[in-house]
Amino acid sequence: MALLEIENLHAGIGEIEILKGVSLSVQKGEVHAIMGPNGSGKSTLAHVLAGHTAYTIFEGSINFDGSTLLEMLPEFRARAGLFLSFQHPVEISGVRFDQFLRASYNSIRKSQNEPELDPIQFNKVLKDKLGQFEIDPAFIQRNVNEGFSGGEKKRMEIFQMALLEPKLAILDETDSGLDVDALREVANGINNFRNPDHAIVLVTHYQRILNYLTPDFVHVLMDGRIVKSGNADLARQIEEHGYDDFLEISRTNEK
Partner 1 sequence: MTAQKSTSPDSYDKAFSLINPIDIPWVDALRRSAFKKFQELGLPTQRRGNEPWKYTDIRKLAKHEFQPVLEHKTVSDQVVRDHSIIAGPSHLAVFIDGTFSPSHSSVNDLPKGANFSSLASAFHSQDILVEDKISRYSGYKAEAFTALNTAFIEDGAIITLTAGTVVKAPIHLLFITTSHKHEVAIHPRIFVHLEESSSASIIESHTGIQGNVYLSNAVAELLIDSNARLNYYKLQRHPTNAFHITNTEAIVNRDGYFSCVNIDLGGDIVRNNLNTRMAGEGASTKLNGLYLTTDKQHVDNQVIIEHIKGNTRARELYKGILDGQSRSVFHGSIIVREGASGVDAYQVDKNLLLSNQAEADTKPAFWVYTDDVKCGHGAACGQIDDDAVFYLRSRGLDEITARQLLIHGFIAEVIDSIENPDLRDHVSDLVHSKLEQWLLV
Ligand X SMILES: Nc1ncnc2c1ncn2[C@@H]1O[C@H](COP(=O)(O)OP(=O)(O)OP(=O)(O)O)[C@@H](O)[C@H]1O
- Binding residues (CB under 6 A) for ligand X: these are 13, 18, 36, 38-44, 87
Q: Which does 40 bind (CB under 5 to 8 A by kind): ligand X, partner 1, Mg ion, none?
A: ligand X
CA–CA separation, 252 and 199 (whole Å)? 31
CA–CA separation, 24 and 180 (whole Å)? 31
Q: Say how many C-beta atoms besides its own lie within 10 A of residue 34's C-beta.
A: 26
Instruction: Report if residue 94 touches partner 1, rule: CB under 8 A.
Output: yes
Question: Min. distance of Cβ 226 from ligand X in angstroms?
Answer: 12
CA–CA separation, 205 and 208 (whole Å)? 9
Stretch touching Mg ion by CB under 5 A, among 14-22, 42-50, 94-102, 188-196: 42-50
Instruction: Report if residue 43 touches Mg ion, rule: CB under 5 A.
Output: yes
Residues 6+ apart with CB under 8 A from 115: 109
Task: Work out which of 50, 117, 125, 249 binds partner 1, going by CB under 8 A.
Answer: 50
Question: Min. distance of Cβ 42 from ligand X in angstroms?
Answer: 3
Residues 6+ apart with CB under 8 A from 3: 26, 27, 28, 64, 65, 167, 168, 199
Q: What are phi and psi of 48, to 5 degrees?
A: -65, -40
- In the complex with ligand X, the residue whose CB is nearer, 39 or 119, is 39
Residues 6+ apart with CB under 8 A from 141: 96, 97, 98
Q: Name the 3-class secondary structure at 231.
A: coil
Task: Work out which of 2, 57, 95, 117 binds partner 1, going by CB under 8 A.
Answer: 95
CA–CA separation, 176 and 126 (whole Å)? 25
Task: Work out which of 45, 84, 126, 199 binds partner 1, going by CB under 8 A.
Answer: 84
Instruction: Report if residue 73 touches partner 1, rule: CB under 8 A.
Output: yes
Instruction: Report if residue 160 touches partner 1, rule: CB under 8 A.
Output: yes
Q: Which does 160 bind (CB under 5 to 8 A by kind): Mg ion, partner 1, ligand X, none?
A: partner 1
Site residues, partner 1 (CB under 8 A):
50-54, 73-75, 77-79, 83-84, 86, 89-90, 92-95, 99-100, 103-105, 107-108, 111, 143, 160, 164
- Binding residues (CB under 5 A) for Mg ion: these are 42-43, 87
